[in-house]
Amino acid sequence: MDVGILGPATVTWQLHADPAMWVAGIASLHLQSLHPGAVAGVVQNSDFRRDPLGRLRRTASFVGTVSYGPTARVHEAAARVRGLHRTLRATDASGRAFRVDDPELLLWVHCAEVHSFVEVVRRAGYRLTDAQVDRYYDEQRRTAALVGLHEDEVPGSARAVADYFAGVLPGLRRTADSELVRRFLLRPPLTGPPRLALGAYEPLLGRLAYSLLPPWAIALHGQRPYPGPVATALLRATRAAALAVPGPIRWSVPEGHVNEAVRRLGRHAAPRRALLPS
């Protein structure tokens, strides 16, 4: 039976099905934008301003595929991403051209993403031991390899991730590009019926996600967040409301990766705390 590259016996399988992942995903984009090279690659190559929901949907779909998809589909999706990245170039502030699949940039995006996922979901109330957090980071080395990194060069524990951030911090900063992305994430330029949801999105997702960044990242962005206790309370209330919706309904958005995995493997594979490895 094909459980994919991770499977139900992993921390990833349980954690990535939690509804707080929606906030965590947006927080990761806020964090990623502080790397001048990474954010330049996005701004110069992405159509996120013309297709506000497209990038968020594609990112969520890739994470869902890698987390829950069958092995062949995971490798097909990863090959498409690697192939696209190989064709993309960007220019830094000095006018130097660089490839967006530079390993330094790929590592930054990976670490910012998985750190945001685990920290935001834990803050939302999902209980994990320190050993389970380390196991999660170790599992995510496999996903890093899919986009072109070497597993042994990717931080595989909370301590290693903290050391990585300490090392890259001097090179992170607020830029015109990071401010463009921050404003976009706070209030995407939606049109038509989706625009009606902005009144809820801005405080419950955009601004909340920004407020959940590490203090050093908020200081670099330079914009006022919700106070820490307010952000935590709002995050937990939002998660509690989402958890009131039956799992199969929640898991149907955006593309039903979890539900498809459960159909493929059986009900015993449905994400739940009881499956967390000790």
Please, which residues have CB within 8 angstroms of residue 70's CB and are 6 or more apart in sequence? Answer: 2, 4, 264
Q: What distance separates the 2 farthest-apart alpha carbons in the chain?
A: 54
User: What confidence score (pLDDT) does residue 202 get?
Assistant: 82
User: What confidence score (pLDDT) does residue 197 get?
Assistant: 64
What is the token pair recorded at 156? 């595989």
**pLDDT tops 80 at residue 49:** no
72-75: long-range pairs with CB below 8 Å, 24+: 72/2, 74/4, 74/5, 74/146, 75/146
**How far, in Å, CA of 87 to CA of 84, rounded?**
6
Identity at 257, one-letter amino acid code = H
Q: Name the least confident of 46-50, 77-81, 225-229.
A: 46-50
Mean pLDDT of 15-41: 96
What is the token pair recorded at 72? 């062949």
Tens of pLDDT, residue by residue over 119-169, are 999 999 999 999 999 999 999 999 999 999 999 999 999 999 999 999 999
Q: Name the least confident of 59-63, 197-201, 271-275.
A: 197-201
Residues 79/66, Cβ–Cβ less than 8 Å: no
User: What confidence score (pLDDT) does residue 94 get?
Assistant: 82
**How far, in Å, CA of 133 to CA of 157, rounded?**
7
**How far, in Å, CA of 11 to CA of 135, rounded?**
7
Phi, psi angles (nearest 5°) of residue 97: -85, 145
User: What confidence score (pLDDT) does residue 25 get?
Assistant: 94
Tens of pLDDT, residue by residue over 186-241, are 888 766 666 656 677 788 889 999 999 999 999 999 999 999 999 999 999 999 99
**How far, in Å, CA of 144 to CA of 151, rounded?**
7
